[in-house]
Amino acid sequence: MDLAKDLFARAVAEPFKTKAVERICLHERPERERLLKEAFHSPAFLAASDVCIDLVTDSGTGAMSDEQWSALMRGDEAYVRSRSFLAFERTVRELFGFAHVIPTHQGRAAENIVLGL
């Protein structure tokens, strides 16, 4: 019992509690090897349902905090210049000093706007 308490005391706990739970598949190694072979050894050809942790994209890789869930529930769904957009715009201007703020839903879209592609 003392060993367990000692190990617990030395463990560094994460400074948050996860608020989202989703069941994931955990294929055994032979199954993972078969799936990769069928996908031409490219993660791009794997079915999303066969991916345990998606390291290919930056989408959906983390759980939302209680504050994020709360903000989602309180969100203003107005189409133009909603309360949440105005707060976002104000924060971006304060942090970065930009005169114009163009929100985009995807990193690649933002890159295209910035780079003029």
Prediction pTM value: 0.40
Could you report the per-residue pLDDT of 100-113, keeping only the tens digit for each? 888 887 788 888 88
**Residue 69 falls within a domain, yes or no?**
no
DSSP structure class, residue 99? S
**Residue 52 falls within a domain, yes or no?**
yes
**Which pair of tokens denotes residue 25?**
């598949």
**Is residue 79 located within the same domain as residue 37?**
no
**Is residue 40 located within the same domain as residue 83?**
no
pLDDT for residue 30 is more than 90 = yes
**Residue 63 falls within a domain, yes or no?**
no
**Residue 26 falls within a domain, yes or no?**
yes
**In contact, 103 and 85? CB cutoff 8 Å:** yes
pLDDT for residue 29 is more than 90 = yes
What is the percentage of the chain residues whose pLDDT exceeds 90?
Answer: 20
pLDDT for residue 117 is more than 80 = no
pLDDT band of 71, cuts 50, 70, 90: confident
pLDDT band of 68, cuts 50, 70, 90: confident
Q: Return the exposure string of 8-31: e unless at least 16 CB atoms fall within 10 Å of the residue's CB, then b.
A: eeeeeeeeeeeeeeeeeeeeeeee
Supply the range of the domain harboring residue 113: 74-117
**Is residue 90 located within the same domain as residue 44?**
no
**Is residue 80 located within the same domain as residue 114?**
yes
Averaged pLDDT, 25-41: 92
**Residue 2 falls within a domain, yes or no?**
yes
Averaged pLDDT, 52-58: 71
**Residue 65 falls within a domain, yes or no?**
no
Counted domains in the chain: 2
**In contact, 44 and 56? CB cutoff 8 Å:** yes
**Residue 64 falls within a domain, yes or no?**
no
**Is residue 78 located within the same domain as residue 43?**
no
